[in-house]
Amino acid sequence: MSNTTSQPPPGADPGQQEDAALDQALAEYRDALREQHAPDLVGARIARAAGTAAPRPRASSGRAPSGTRRWLPVAASLAAATAVVALLGVFGTPDQSPGGEPVLVAAAPKPRLTVSYEPVPMRRLTPTGGHQIYYVQSRILRDERGLVRAVFPSRRARSTQRQSNAYGARPASIRR
């Protein structure tokens, strides 16, 4: 029922008109909702944990994985990262699709990681559409070559990020 508009017949009673208006509003909302796509989460998270390139766009949909843009700083939850590390131990070599393309991102050899705690610059959106840089204390994992393999912002930082990224949002005049 995409892009449908329901017009009440001439002389319709107020109840019918209300129903038509509601159907119209829901149809518009559904159309907008259908433009939203799930981020390529599995690939993104495994790729990030493996230190490989950014997640590939999904060929089937022909669109960029827009949802991963905000995903990277936000989703470094410890529990999730733990799950990824467990996954990496399982995926020895990439599975191949009939076309020869890897189905999941190839797992790199397990690096020996060192841990340090440092402030990390992060960005958050402002109501005016700009962005603001701020620093949060984070746990950083580096490999033998000193390359950063994972960043875990503090719990407080993650909750702040979530707050600033929550769409659907409250107007500026509202304070919790």
Partner 1 sequence: MPSDAELIDELQTGKRQALTPLYERHADALYRFGLAQGVAAHLVAEALQETFLGLLEDASGFDARRSDSARGWLYGRFRNQLRRARREPPTPDAEQPAAPSAEDSAHWQRSTRDVAALIAQLPEGQREVLTLITLQDLSYEETAHTLDIAVGTVRSRLNRARAQLGEWLQTRPAATNNPQARATDTAGPGVVIDV
The residue from 7, 16, 28, 110 that contacts partner 1 (CB under 8 A) is 28
CB nearer to partner 1: pick between 37 and 147: 37
SS3 of residue 86 by DSSP? helix
Q: Residue 3 CB, nearest distance to partner 1 (Å)? A: 14
Site for partner 1 in 46-65 (CB under 8 A): 58, 60
Return the SS3 of 63. strand
d(CA 55, CA 40): 7
CA distance 89 to 70: 26
In the region spanning residues 68 to 87, those forming contacts with partner 1, defined by CB under 8 A, are 70-71, 74-75, 77, 80, 83, 87
Our CB check for partner 1 shows the closer of 145 and 167 to be: 167
Look at the block and give the residue holding tokens 């707050």. 163
Q: What is the DSSP string of 90-153?
A: H--S--B-TTS-BSSPPPPPPPP-EEEEEEEEEEEE-TTS-EEEEEEEEEEEE-TTS-EEEEEE
| 42 touching partner 1, by CB under 8 A | yes
Residues of this chain that bind partner 1 (CB under 8 A) = 1, 18-19, 21-22, 25-26, 28-30, 32-39, 41-42, 45, 58, 60, 66-67, 70-71, 74-75, 77, 80, 83, 87, 90-91, 95, 103-104, 124-127, 129, 156, 159-160, 162-176
